[in-house]
Amino acid sequence: MRGPGSGEISLRTLLQVALSRIAGWMWTGLWAVWALNPGMAQRKVTLSGYVREAASGEALLGASVYLKENLKGTTTNTYGFYSLTVEPGQYTVVVSYIGYRNFSQVVDLTRDLTLSVELQKVAVEAGAVEVTDERSRQNTESTRMGTVELQMEDVKKLPVLFGEVDILKTLTLLPGVQSSGEGNSGLYIRGGGPDQNLVLLDGAVVYNASHLFGFFSVFNSDAIKSVNLVKGGMPAQYGGRLSSVVDITMKEGNLKRWEVEGGLGAIASRLTVQGPLVKDKLAVIASGRRTYFDVLAKPFIPKKSPFRGSGYYFYDMNTKLHYRISEKDKLYLSGYFGRDVFSFVNREVGFRAAIVWGNATTTLRWNHQFNKKLFSNLMAVFTDYKFRFEGDQNNFRFKLFSGVRDYGLKADFNYYPVAGHDVRFGAEYLNHKFTPSNITFASQITDVKPPEPILYFSNEASAYASDDWDVTQRLRVNLGVRATFYAFNGRFIRYVKDALGATVDTIYYSRHQLIKPYFRAEPRLAARFKLNEWASVKASYTMNWQYIQLASRATISLPFDVWLPTTEYVVPQFSQQVAVGYYHNFWDDMLETSVELYYKPMRDLIEFQDGADPAQTLNSNIDNTLVQGKGKAWGAEFFIRKTRGKWNGWIGYTLAWTNRTFPQLNEGRTFWAKYDRRHDLSVVLSYDITSRLNVSAVFVYATGNTLTLPKNLYFIEERLVTEFAERNSYRFAPYHRLDLAATFVLTRPQKKFFSSLSLSIYNVYSRLNPFFIYYNSSGNLTEGTFKLQARQVSLFPIIPTITWNFKY
C-alpha cells in the first residue's frame, strides 16, 4: 500500500500554473484582436441597447440589428444586448426578428447613443399575412454552422405523444440529430453518444434529461423560452462535450403583467404563473408539472392486493426571479427541481422497494453592462443529479445511491470594439463530485459493514476567446480558442488489479491531492463567404475534449447508468470535426436551404468490457472495467425550412455513417456504432387554416438501429448459453411514423382569457416500429418440444390525445 508521496506537485501549484497559462493565452488573444483592429485611432461612436418583446419585456436573443446605409450589423446576445461601433453619421437602424414586426428608425449618430427597442409580435390574422420588407438573414449571414434555434411557440404546434410537448423529441426532427425511437430521450448527434451532448438549462448542466426512462424529457414546455442546438462548429464559449450543445433558456417572467397558463393532458397537468412583483423591475415565474398514472391506477388496485402501495409518478418545477436593478444591471435566480418516484410493494413476500431519481439545478446570474461596448455575464451554477434505490426484505436492507454534484462559476464577456468585430471571452470553473454506486447493506448480523464508498472528485477550468470578424463585405470569420485544465484529485482509493481482476495494490490519495492533470487547447475556426445576397458558403473546424462520460451497459439509457470522470486510467475523449456547407435563401428569405457535409474522427471513446461487472464497486474501481477506442462519423445533411407564411415547417434529410474500433471489443474489428443510421428523413409541416385553427403533420423515416444477433447455442451445466455474432452486424426494420395535430383556439382573439384544444394523433397509420427483439422459448427439451422464436416488440400503436391549454 502506498500513501501520498512526498515531492509531488500540489493541486494548488498546478492550478496557479494553469491560471497563469490561461491568462497568458487570453491576453495574447485580446492583443491579437486589437492589433487586427484597423481604425482604432479614428473617432467612432457606439450605438447600443437591448431588444425586447413588447408584451412581456422578455429579452429577444439573436435579433438582428443593422444600419441600412452601410449594411453593418450585429445580433443581440443571449440577454438581448447589442452594440455597434461605427463612424459618426446619420443612419437608419433596422431591428428584426422572426415572427415580429420590424423596427426601423433614423438616428443621428454623432456621439454614443443608447437605443433599446421593443418589438411587436406579428398578429396571425386570417388572410392577412404580414409582409415585411426586411428579413432576418441568419442562415446565410452568420458564421455559425450546424446551429438551429427553436422557439417554444413553434414547437408547441407539433403533434405530441400523450399530450406532452417534448423539446428533446422535437430536436430529433432536425437533420443530423437522431433518437433511437421511443423509450429513449437520448440524442445521438452526428455519430456521437448521448453523453456527448452538453445539455444546459440556464447555464447549469442537466445530467439526466429524461423522465420515466426516456419517455419524456425533463423540460416543461411552459417554462422554456427557447432552445439552441449546436451540432457542429461549436463556438469557443462552449466545451466539455464532443458532439453538441443543447442550450435551453427558461422564460424570464413577465415584467408587465400577471399571466397564468396551464394545460390538462392525458397523463399530466401543468401550471405556470408569472408576473411582475414590481412592475418593470422584478418579475417571477413558477411552473410545475405532475403526472397522475398513480392516482388513476389506484382505484383499480384491490385493497387486499399485496401490491397495494406500488406506484409511479414524476413531477418537476421551474422557477425564476428576474430583477432589473437598472438598465445596465440585471440579476436572475433560476432553479429546476424534478423527481421520478417509483415504489413497489409486495406484502406477500415482505418486499418493499423505492426508486427515486432526478435533477436539481440552480443558477444565479448577474448581467452587467460596463459600458457601451462591454457586456458581462457572471454566473454561479449548481447542479445535482441523484439516483437512489432502497429495498428491504425481511431483515435485509440494501440501499444504493449514485449521483453527480457540480458547482461552478462562469464569467462571459461580450466586447464590441468596432462594427465588424464581436469579441467574446471568458472563463469557467467547475467542481465535480461523482458517486458511481454507493451501496449500504444491513442484516441482522452487525459485523457486515460496507467499506467507505469511493467518490470521484475533479476540477475543470477553462478559458476562451473568440472574435466574429467581418474581414471584408463577403468574408466573415470566427476565430476562437478554448483552453482547458482538468484535474482528477483525491480523496480517492485506487485498487490496482491484475489481468484476472484480483487486487494487487491499493493506493490511498488524500483530500485535494492531485492524481492526474490534463492540459488541453481547442482551436475553433469558422468562416462564411457570401457569394451573393442570397447565398453563402461556410466552413468550420473544431476540436473538443471531454472529461466526463456516461458508462452505459444496457442498450437503452437507464437512470442506473453512472457518470464517471476522466481518471488516471481513463483518458479524456477527443474529437475533431470538419464541416463545409452551402446556404441559399429563396423567396425573399422566406425559404432557407442548406447542405452541410461533416467528417468527425474521435478517439478514446469509452465502453464497458465484455462481461464487465460494473455492480462490483466495492474494493474495486468502476473504471477498471472500461475500455477505450476510436470512432469515426461522416455524412451529409440537407435542410429546407420555410419560416413565414400560412404554411411553414421544414424537411431534413441526413445521410450518415458512424463506426467504432476498440482493440478489446469484437476481436479488434471495426463495427458500426449502435446508432449508425444511413438514412434519416423528417418532414414537419404546419398550416394556419384560420387564425384560430392550425394543423400540423410530422413524418419521420429512419434506417433501423444496429443490433448484435445470437449465432450459436451451447450447453453448460444444463443451461443454454448463447454465442453472439459480430457486434452490431444486424439491423432492425426501418422506423417510420406519421403524426397529425390540430390546435383550435376556443376563445375570441380580443378576450383576456385564452384557451385552446389540441388534438394529437401519434403514429397515425399505427406502424409497429421495432423497439427490441427478444427470443421466446416454448416447450421443453424433455418432451422434445423446445422451440425458440424471435419476437419483435413495438411500443406505441396509434395514440390519440386531447389536451386543453389555457392562458390569461
Partner 1 sequence: MSKAIKSMEATIRLFFLVVLTLLWSGCEKDITVELPQGEKKPVVDGRLFSGDYPRVWITYTFPFFTPLQGINIYDPNSIAQFLALDAEVTVSDGTVTEYLSLVLDTTYFPPVFYMGDTIVGQPGRSYFLTIRLHGKTYTAVTTIPPIVALDSLRWKPEGQLDSLGPCNLYFTDPPQYGNIYRLFCKRQGYVHYRPIFDPSVLDDQSFNGLRIEFPFYRPDPKNFVFYNSDTLTAQEQRERFYWKRGDTIYVRFCTIDRPAYEFLRTFEESANTSGNPFSNPSSVKSNIQGGAMGGWVGYGAFDIWTVAQ
- Closest contact distance (angstroms) between CB of 398 and partner 1 is 4
Q: Which of residues 613-632 bind partner 1 (CB under 8 A)?
A: 613, 615-616, 618-620
The piece of 100-108, 121-129, 444-452, 460-468 that touches partner 1 (CB under 8 A) is: 444-452
The piece of 227-235, 540-548, 585-593, 725-733 that touches partner 1 (CB under 8 A) is: 725-733
Number of alpha helices (DSSP H) and beta strands (DSSP E) in the chain: 5, 50
The verdict on 305 binding partner 1 (CB under 8 A) reads no
Q: Which of residues 11-40 bind partner 1 (CB under 8 A)?
A: none
Q: Which is nearer to partner 1, 582 or 772 (CB)?
A: 772
The verdict on 304 binding partner 1 (CB under 8 A) reads no
The piece of 345-353, 376-384, 533-541, 631-639 that touches partner 1 (CB under 8 A) is: 345-353
Beta-bridge partners for 407: 382, 431
- Closest contact distance (angstroms) between CB of 383 and partner 1 is 23
State which of residues 9, 126, 278, 720 lies at the interface with partner 1 (CB under 8 A). Answer: 720
- Closest contact distance (angstroms) between CB of 782 and partner 1 is 5
State which of residues 45, 378, 709, 759 lies at the interface with partner 1 (CB under 8 A). Answer: 709
The verdict on 780 binding partner 1 (CB under 8 A) reads yes
Rounded CA separation 619/624 (Å): 11
- Can you read off the three cell numbers belonging to residue 89? 453619421
Rounded CA separation 114/237 (Å): 27
Q: Which is nearer to partner 1, 70 or 394 (CB)?
A: 394
CB 665 within 8 A of CB 707: no
> Could you give the string, one character per residue 398-437, with x where binding to partner 1 holds by CB under 8 A and - elsewhere?
x-x------------------------------------x
State which of residues 99, 183, 601, 734 lies at the interface with partner 1 (CB under 8 A). Answer: 183
CB 48 within 8 A of CB 372: yes
The piece of 53-61, 138-146, 535-543, 777-785 that touches partner 1 (CB under 8 A) is: 777-785
Q: Which is nearer to partner 1, 483 or 622 (CB)?
A: 622
State which of residues 13, 90, 92, 443 lies at the interface with partner 1 (CB under 8 A). Answer: 443
> Could you give the string, one character per residue 450-489, with x where binding to partner 1 holds by CB under 8 A and - elsewhere?
xx--------------------------------------
Which is nearest to 434 in space by CA: 461, 411, 453, 451? 453
Q: Which of residues 200-219 bind partner 1 (CB under 8 A)?
A: 212-213
State which of residues 5, 42, 716, 748 lies at the interface with partner 1 (CB under 8 A). Answer: 716
Distances (CA, A) of 82 to 74, 468, 774, 802: 7, 14, 56, 42
Distances (CA, A) of 711 to 730, 739, 779: 11, 37, 21
State which of residues 555, 586, 751, 808 lies at the interface with partner 1 (CB under 8 A). Answer: 555
- Closest contact distance (angstroms) between CB of 212 and partner 1 is 7
The verdict on 133 binding partner 1 (CB under 8 A) reads no
- Can you read off the three cell numbers belonging to residue 235? 463556438
Beta-bridge partners for 788: 777
Which is nearest to 148 in space by CA: 169, 175, 166, 168? 175
Q: Which is nearer to partner 1, 156 or 211 (CB)?
A: 211
- Can you read off the three cell numbers belonging to residue 735? 422506423
Q: Which is nearer to partner 1, 38 or 451 (CB)?
A: 451
State which of residues 576, 661, 708, 755 lies at the interface with partner 1 (CB under 8 A). Answer: 708
Q: Which of residues 757-776 bind partner 1 (CB under 8 A)?
A: 768, 771-776
Distances (CA, A) of 306 to 311, 345, 347, 352, 556: 13, 7, 5, 11, 30
Residue partners of 503: CB distance under 8 A and separation at least 6: 495, 496, 497, 619, 620
Rounded CA separation 782/68 (Å): 87
Write out 121-168 in H/E/C secondary structure: ECCCECCECCCCCCCCCHHHHCCCCCEEEEEHHHHCCCCCECCECCHH
The verdict on 342 binding partner 1 (CB under 8 A) reads yes
Tell me how many residues contact partner 1 (CB under 8 A): 99
State which of residues 41, 133, 718, 750 lies at the interface with partner 1 (CB under 8 A). Answer: 718
Q: Which is nearer to partner 1, 254 or 552 (CB)?
A: 552
Rounded CA separation 615/505 (Å): 21
- Closest contact distance (angstroms) between CB of 648 and partner 1 is 32
- Closest contact distance (angstroms) between CB of 777 and partner 1 is 7
State which of residues 445, 452, 748, 750 lies at the interface with partner 1 (CB under 8 A). Answer: 445
**H-helix or E-strand spanning residue 759:** strand 754-762
The verdict on 611 binding partner 1 (CB under 8 A) reads yes
CB 269 within 8 A of CB 292: yes
- Closest contact distance (angstroms) between CB of 475 and partner 1 is 49
The verdict on 502 binding partner 1 (CB under 8 A) reads yes
What DSSP assignment string belongs to 235-255?
-TT--S-SSEEEEEEE----S
State which of residues 326, 472, 532, 785 lies at the interface with partner 1 (CB under 8 A). Answer: 785
The verdict on 259 binding partner 1 (CB under 8 A) reads no
The verdict on 789 binding partner 1 (CB under 8 A) reads yes
Q: How buried is 62 (Cβ within 10 angstroms: 0-12 exposed, 13-18 middle, 19+ buried)? A: buried
- Closest contact distance (angstroms) between CB of 155 and partner 1 is 23
Pairing of β 147-151 and β 117-119: unpaired
State which of residues 92, 151, 503, 510 lies at the interface with partner 1 (CB under 8 A). Answer: 503
- Can you read off the three cell numbers belonging to residue 221? 414546455
Q: Which is nearer to partner 1, 2 or 751 (CB)?
A: 2
Q: Which is nearer to partner 1, 305 or 576 (CB)?
A: 305
User: Is 32 in a helix, a strand, or coil?
Assistant: helix
Q: Which of residues 370-389 bind partner 1 (CB under 8 A)?
A: 389
Q: Which of residues 729-748 bind partner 1 (CB under 8 A)?
A: 729-730
State which of residues 90, 151, 394, 510 lies at the interface with partner 1 (CB under 8 A). Answer: 394
The piece of 120-128, 235-243, 343-351, 742-750 that touches partner 1 (CB under 8 A) is: 343-351
Rounded CA separation 112/85 (Å): 9
Rounded CA separation 477/467 (Å): 8
The verdict on 663 binding partner 1 (CB under 8 A) reads no
- Closest contact distance (angstroms) between CB of 621 and partner 1 is 12
Rounded CA separation 318/224 (Å): 9
68 φ/ψ angles, rounded to the nearest 5 degrees: -65, -35
The piece of 17-25, 239-247, 375-383, 704-712 that touches partner 1 (CB under 8 A) is: 704-712
The verdict on 687 binding partner 1 (CB under 8 A) reads no
Rounded CA separation 170/191 (Å): 18
CB 558 within 8 A of CB 215: no
Rounded CA separation 489/456 (Å): 8
Rounded CA separation 210/186 (Å): 8
Rounded CA separation 234/245 (Å): 8
The verdict on 608 binding partner 1 (CB under 8 A) reads yes
The verdict on 303 binding partner 1 (CB under 8 A) reads no
The verdict on 554 binding partner 1 (CB under 8 A) reads yes
State which of residues 646, 794, 804, 806 lies at the interface with partner 1 (CB under 8 A). Answer: 794
208-243 b/e (C-beta count within 10 Å ≥ 16 → b): bbbbbbbbbbbbbbbbbbbbbbbbbbbbbbbbbbbb
The piece of 87-95, 278-286, 392-400, 572-580 that touches partner 1 (CB under 8 A) is: 392-400
